[in-house]
Amino acid sequence: MATSAPDEPTIGDIGEFGLIDRVRAEIGDNRHVLLGPGDDAAHVSTKDGSFLVSTDLLVEGRHFRRDWSSAHDIGRKAAACNLSDINAMGGVATALTLGFGAPADLPVSWVLEMTRGFEVECAHVGAHIVGGDVTASDKIVIAVTAMGDVSRPVLRSGALPGDVVAYAGQLGLAGAGFAALSRGFRSPKAAVDAHRVPHPPYAAGPQAAGAGATAMTDISDGLLADLGHIAEASGVAIDLVSSTFVIPEPVATVSEALGVDALTFMLTGGDDYALVATFSSQASLPEGWTAIGAVSDGAGILVDGKTYEGPAGHQHFR
């Protein structure tokens, strides 16, 4: 087993994004890379154009549980979180490769049902599996690379003071569903189902790009956490207005049952794969987008003008 020297930082010390920064420094730049690591997807040039590409991993026991979700649900979720990365850049996914690791005693029928779920989700945007790899593993590991087309990639780094912050999709449901399942509940169904199978707003990414969005990302780790990436990359502050959030009934139900503030699920719950973006105050928000705050000079994320107390969302390795 690999161990670190006493003075050497571990991945747990520096966290997911600290690790990405160090890897990015190691690999440097390349003339074919129009946009490298650090956004939802990379933008790569080819002789006849360019394309977006992004990779995500799902690990059994961390991202899904077979006693909570069917193989079909897991396949849909694996596709959705990768299709969402392309969507978050304002693009549309066209092709995906699938790396799959599993124990030797996993039934073949489980794999085929997962594949059917994967293809069902891909059909929402017209994408398709074009290849991949299979290997033995102690637990199920699903590695997906998504590729797609884009006219104007929307980065995390373009937000400007005075911009409006808005989101599209659903917030809080998957986080509430995860909290319910973790306590042994199987309801409310809408929340539990949202954790099992997210519903990214696939049309909203290209719509936002067409409407002139200045920055955008998807919400996988929590609204505050992911907006924090936009604030940091853009060098701005973002202030959210709590009264603009409409709490879905299933979120309110879980909140009451568990004694958790419902707004916490809206602000920090991940896995819904909604989109959050910034737009010029002069722009008209596309249909389905809801304004929830504003960009200003400064740094960090505020809620009603104050620093949010508590974790901003999910953190890997912590």
Strand order in the sheet with 42-46: 33-35, 42-46, 49-59, 141-149, 92-102, 128-136
Checking DSSP bridges between strand 237-240 and strand 300-303, what pairing results, if any? parallel
CA distance 295 to 57: 32
CB 34 within 8 A of CB 43: yes
Q: Give φ, ψ of 173 to 5 degrees.
A: -65, -50
66 a known binding residue? no
243 assigned binding-site residue: no
The annotation status of 218 as a binding-site residue, yes or no, is yes
Question: Annotation-wise, does 54 bind a ligand?
Answer: yes
226 assigned ligand-binding residue:
no
Amino acid at 267: L
**221 marked as part of a ligand binding site:** yes
Q: Is 73 annotated as a binding residue?
A: no
Q: 11-49 burial string, b = 16+ CB within 10 Å, else e?
A: eeeeeeeebeeeeeeeeeeeeeeebeeebbbbbbeeeee
40 is in an annotated binding site: yes
182 is in an annotated binding site: no
261 is in an annotated binding site: no
What is the torsion angle, in degrees rounded to the nearest 10, for the CA atoms of residue 255, residue 260, residue 263 and residue 269?
A: -90
Tell whether 55 is in a known binding site: yes
What radius of gyration do the chain's Cα atoms show?
Answer: 19
Q: Which residues are annotated as a binding site for Mg(2+)?
A: 40, 54-56, 85, 133, 218, 221
Q: Which residues are annotated as a binding site for ATP?
A: 132-133, 156, 220
Q: Which residues are annotated as a binding site for substrate?
A: 63, 271
Q: Which residues are annotated as a binding site?
A: 40, 54-56, 63, 85, 132-133, 156, 218, 220-221, 271
